[in-house]
Amino acid sequence: MTRSERTVHSTIRVLLLSHLFLLIGCSSVSLSKAFKASLNTKYPIEEKIVGGYDMSRLSEAPLRALLIAKLDLPRQDAFDLMLSGLHKWFPNLEEFTWSNTRNGKIVVGSVRTGKYKGDKMVEYVRYIKPGHFYVYQIDLDKTEKFIPISNHMGVFTVEELPNHSSLVIWRQYFDSRIPLMGSFVAWIMEDWVAQGAFDNLVEIYGGQRIKY
């Protein structure tokens, strides 16, 4: 390796480490007042209450990942995609099966089981208002793929917009199993995994991602 090549490699390492430490220093999602006002959602993102349900009873972890999109779909159709149609837009995710339903309907306590890249995933519905929102948790003990998080909680909210469109917000709360690396883990989950899935969602069904 020449001196110039070593210099380039050294510079890249410094930049990567600098970015890593910056990420570690940012502990959770933070939104400006202007952005929150422009979003105009009835489910305030930085509150752990949705539809009157206090989500803090499930997890005290901070908000680590946030994805927002406007979809060219009516609210009910968009909600169905977020609940039972994830495999239609989330790459490498197989169709889920459901258990603990009531008369065929998904209710609190229903269990969603599927595979991501061939590994089993198990999730529980903790609270749901059909057509509007639901709160869920990954069962990290029964999920085969190692996910370096704990105290997980996810929330999908779907709101009706004009012209038969909808606003979809996906929040994920969790702590990291790796000390001092919560924000780095969040960056991996959001930037490397979920953002690509939301881009795919918009490409298939129309609409636009909303970035903060």
What pLDDT does residue 11 have? Answer: 37
Report the chain's C-alpha Rg in angstroms: 19
The mean pLDDT of 148-177, rounded to a whole number, is: 92
The confidence score (pLDDT) of residue 46 equals 84
Rounded CA separation 25/134 (Å): 30
pLDDT (0 to 100) of residue 163: 93
Consecutive H or E run containing 109 = none
Neighbours of 199 (CB within 10 A): 14
What local confidence, expressed as pLDDT, does residue 193 receive?
52
Write down the domain spans for the chain: 3-210
Write out pLDDT tens, residues 179-197. Answer: 544 454 444 444 445 678 8
Q: So what's the pLDDT on residue 180?
A: 47
Given a cut of 70, whether residue 92 has pLDDT beyond it is yes
100-143 pLDDT, tens per residue?
999 999 999 999 999 988 999 999 999 999 999 999 999 999 98
Mean pLDDT of the chain: 82
Q: What is the mean pLDDT of residues 77-82?
A: 98
**For the chain, percent of residues with pLDDT exceeding 90:** 56
* Whether 68 contacts 199, CB under 8 Å: no
Cβ pair 146, 73 in contact under 8 A: no
Question: Average pLDDT, stretch 79-94?
Answer: 94
Provide the CATH topology of domain 3-210.
Alpha-D-Glucose-1,6-Bisphosphate; Chain A, domain 4 (3.30.530)
Please tell me the pTM assigned to this model. Answer: 0.81
Mean pLDDT along residues 31-48: 84
Closest CA to 170 of 107, 88, 98, 81: 81
pLDDT, position 177? 73
Q: Tokens 């570690």 map to which residue?
A: 24
